[in-house]
Chains A and B, each alone.
Chain A
């Protein structure tokens, strides 16, 4: 069997998955009746609708006449680096403080570009860290840890 429109097929799979998950999760909640709907009623109905809709898209993806051809092409480098940089920022913000975290975020995220150059990325990081210090810390007065926690006692 050949899948004619892989992107539609995968969309269908995704919708069926989300729909089934919604149905499974809402079955643990009070469902209630049409006149007095519980918290689980509407999500259960939507989940069921989504499973049906996803199945239609899935089947049309296998055999339908029209749709988007070709498997999706993934490039793992940009998506992985950007997401890791963002998650890393969230993890080091409290222990290392805003300024160091910003520098790490900029340098790491810059590596996602195919035009990456060390010198440029470091300069950019320095400039952005300075801007962050002026704009967010002094001007907008955001309440966040600025310096690394091991230094904050002394500064």
Chain B
């Protein structure tokens, strides 16, 4: 049993006291920012990236992964108790979760979302472990043409599943690709778009771009909204589930887990889209759909399981193919590259301890979250009363010090301010920054594979269409574009995203 020996190696890595500690720290930070509305995993990972430089790569990745799935747990808490989604992926949980809380069943809602997340997380860990080896072996047969087409497929997937205008999302990807080209060209050594600034010879720092577009820009946007939070005090009674609840929720957890696991693997997928999809599936499956929105436990169980499952299976394409399926995994890819690890099929063979250690730590992290979260709910909710006017200066201080420490220069701080301004403009023009980050991360790889592929075929672009696997990816990409352009599906997509917004 190769799988068992691999998992054993993972346990050896993950159960060292230091890695357990970082797993705990990541899960706690994730829960914390999951509870706080306005700060999500993307911003947090961007802000904390520099602090992980000092850690060994395994610990850094364990902690960053913990932030991602921890946020899925934390987000549900505020959705249920306060009717404020702490995370975008918990928006649908508000619908039935908060109704349950109003009926005095907050305890049951919290318990099922924790147990559902745990079941989903365990299953997703298994999916990751089982799929990893065959997928990475497949990836070894990829040449430059296959990689190029796969990345095109991934980028188009992120456009199709993104909300808002598709044309704008395509433009943002291309802008990301162009920003990724700033710096020294690997093949020729020529400086591109550096404007003679020596600090730009190494390119725009990933940390600067991510922190500017997400960290700084979000602070500015929150300040403009002048939001003031009211805290609804709902009493917590009885965390135990009734038999009836369990009978209703168990199949929903199963469906949510399967839905989330699948959507997490697909390019463009991830926690947010899967929680919406799981809720819609649940409503379609139910014999009594009119009960949804009035405190049905299935409406909490399914999306909460789905978002946690997706948060974990979205590591599959990153760790096996080297393609981040969404913006958070693009952050992870950035973190790995900063630590000198190129994400992709080689990670499994060259760094088995890291690979399996991170996978096992995800399961351990889920155990930690269940054990910690239910008793600590009261504390998390009280954290909501920290006013934003005290919180955001602290975030800024963290950002600035972290930025300086990346290269020990102040240039990066100024560059981040510029990226923040750019992010502000994007926000005002309703352009999503997430596709830009994906383009930025994939840009250098995309160009390198295009150039290598064309060099090998002596300038004949048909190589992308004659190699079978490459053709499959391109056909899938084209299929997605056509599907979205079809009027019927387009209306459905617009309606689905509209529902998202009206529910927020």
Contact = CB atoms under 8 A, between A and B. Distances in A.
Contact of B430 (A38, A68, A142, A143): A68
Contacts of A82: 216, 219-220, 223, 396, 420
A143 B408 contact: yes
A42 B451 contact: yes
A44 to B, nearest CB: 11
B29 to A, nearest CB: 14
Contacts of A18: 175, 178
A127 to B, nearest CB: 9
A85 B396 contact: yes
B402 to A, nearest CB: 9
A30 interface: yes
B351 interface: no
Given A11-B168, A115-B389, A140-B54, A39 B220 contact: no
B192 A29 contact: yes
Contacts of A29: 190, 192
Nearest to B219: A82
A57 B397 contact: no
B171 A15 contact: yes
A136 to B, nearest CB: 6
Nearest to B181: A43
Interface string B400-424: 1100110010110110110011001
Interface in B374-400: 387-390, 392-394, 396-397, 399-400
Given A43-B192, A68-B430, A82-B220, A22 B168 contact: no
Nearest to B413: A90
B407 to A, nearest CB: 11
A89 B190 contact: no
A132 to B, nearest CB: 6
A134 interface: no
A113 B397 contact: no
Secondary structure at chain A's binding surface: helix, strand, loop or mixed? Answer: helix
B421 A83 contact: yes
Contact of A57 (B168, B177, B388, B392): B168
A105 B396 contact: yes
B390 A87 contact: no
A147 B410 CA distance: 16
B413 A87 contact: yes
Contacts of B404: 90, 93, 144
Contact of B174 (A14, A49, A94, A124): A49
A19 B451 CA distance: 21
Interface residues of B, number: 62
A106 B167 contact: no
B119 interface: no
Nearest to B184: A39
A72 B429 contact: yes
A53 B174 contact: yes
A136 B394 CA distance: 13
Given A53-B170, A83-B420, A120 B223 contact: no
A71 to B, nearest CB: 9
A3 interface: no
Interface in B449-485: 450-451, 454-455, 457-459, 461
B12 interface: no
B178 A37 contact: no
B224 interface: yes
A34 B459 contact: yes
Contact of A11 (B54, B397, B431): B431
Contacts of A144: 401, 404-405, 408
B237 interface: no
Given A30-B188, A43-B192, A142-B401, A35 B171 contact: no
Interface in A132-152: 132, 136, 140, 142-144
A33 B459 contact: yes
A37 B450 CA distance: 9
Contacts of B430: 7, 11, 68
Contacts of B220: 78-79, 82-83, 112
A43 B168 CA distance: 19
B187 interface: yes
B174 A98 contact: no
Contacts of A54: 171
A98 B401 CA distance: 9
A105 B400 contact: yes
A133 to B, nearest CB: 11
Contacts of B190: 29-30, 38-39
A2 interface: no
Contacts of A53: 167, 170-171, 174
Given A35-B454, A46-B174, A90 B389 contact: no
Nearest to B409: A90
B425 A14 contact: yes
Nearest to A136: B401
Contacts of A85: 396
Interface in B255-307: none
20 contacts: A8-B168, A22-B193, A35-B458, A37-B455, A40-B192, A46-B177, A49-B174, A72-B429, A79-B424, A83-B216, A86-B216, A90-B410, A90-B413, A94-B410, A98-B401, A102-B397, A113-B388, A114-B223, A142-B401, A144-B404
Given A140-B54, A144-B404, 19 more contacts: A7-B428, A7-B429, A11-B168, A11-B430, A42-B451, A57-B165, A60-B167, A87-B417, A90-B410, A91-B410, A102-B401, A109-B396, A110-B393, A121-B393, A124-B393, A124-B394, A132-B401, A140-B51, A143-B408
Interface of B: 51, 54, 165, 167-168, 170-171, 174-175, 177-178, 181, 185, 187-188, 190, 192-193, 216, 219-220, 223-224, 226, 387-390, 392-394, 396-397, 399-401, 404-405, 408, 410-411, 413-414, 416-417, 420-421, 424-425, 428-431, 447, 450-451, 454-455, 457-459, 461
The 5 closest A-B pairs by CB, nearest first: A35-B459, A90-B413, A78-B223, A34-B459, A72-B428
